[in-house]
Amino acid sequence: MSVKIEQNIIGYKVRKPEDKQSQTDGAGSPQRAEKEDAKVIRMHEKLARPEGLECLEGSTYKIKTPLDDHALYVTINDIILNPGTEHEQRRPFEIFINSKNMDHFQWIVALTRVMSSVFRKGGDVTFLAEELQAVFDPKGGYFKPGGKFMPSLVAEIGAVVEHHLQRIGMLEKPELSEQQQLMLDEKRAEAESRHSGAAEKKPLNDAADSYPAGATLCNKCHTKAVIMMDNCATCLSCGYSKCG
């Protein structure tokens, strides 16, 4: 299809998949479902807080790291789009991070502003959780209680975002089957009984006390939970095993 341009071009916009809607409307062959879809409110940059509603529903998460005496509080507020309809969706709208420690103030303000803008732009915002969790602190990370390795404070903020997105149903939480969990519990009990004599020899500064002493780091879930069972390295946290 060729289009004759009769006016000066004063701007342009790259076509995105979500623009397809208006395209089909313009082409005069909209399908009924798509037409109804046009009334559905989606996330976009200029989306304002719901009128007359000064408060949004949110959740606050506490982050306590061994790097800092003061905890970090992460608040993510959600907006409910199309409430009461079949298109009802809960989407993150803004994020705030608070701490008594002002050392990180500058970059935290920058990070939360950028993240809030990304939330409001809409689309798939789950990449934020992934990107942040891939940030490594050159000074080295730390272990969380339970043995999970956190490569940086930024990664921990990413983990909070991931947890929140799982809670509001935007991300699926990977869960072990009942059978897998049962098998891991068995292996764990076996390993613990084997190590019970050496319990006092636990290395200092080891937060991974919920897994058997001597457990090593899992490359898949980054938890200190890999033990040798029947000549096979097995992770007691995510079930990863070198022997399949």
- Smallest gap from Cβ 220 to Zn ion, in A, equals 5
- Smallest gap from Cβ 155 to Zn ion, in A, equals 16
d(CA 229, CA 227): 6
- Smallest gap from Cβ 194 to Zn ion, in A, equals 20
What is the DSSP annotation of the chain? ------S---------GGGHHHHHHHTT---HHHHHHTTS----TTPPPPTT----EEEEEEE--TT-SS-EEEEEEEEEESTTSTT-EEEEEEEEEEES--TTHHHHHHHHHHHHHHHHH-S--THHHHHHHT---TT--EEPTTSBEE--HHHHHHHHHHHHHHHTTSSPPP---HHHHHHHHHHHHHHHHHHGGGGGGPPTT---TTS-TT-EE-TTT-BEEEEEETTEEEETTT--BTT-
Nearest to Zn ion of 93, 143 (CB atom): 143
Nearest to Zn ion of 142, 211 (CB atom): 211
Nearest to Zn ion of 81, 227 (CB atom): 227
- Smallest gap from Cβ 238 to Zn ion, in A, equals 3
- Smallest gap from Cβ 235 to Zn ion, in A, equals 3
Q: Is the dihedral of CA 12, 15, 18, 21 positive or negative?
A: positive
Nearest to Zn ion of 120, 148 (CB atom): 148
- Smallest gap from Cβ 219 to Zn ion, in A, equals 8
- Smallest gap from Cβ 182 to Zn ion, in A, equals 17
Nearest to Zn ion of 174, 197 (CB atom): 174
Residues 150/158, Cβ–Cβ less than 8 Å: no
Nearest to Zn ion of 120, 222 (CB atom): 222
Nearest to Zn ion of 115, 218 (CB atom): 218
Which residues of the chain form contacts with Zn ion (CB under 5 A)? Answer: 218, 220-221, 235, 237-238, 240
Place of tokens 């998460």: 61
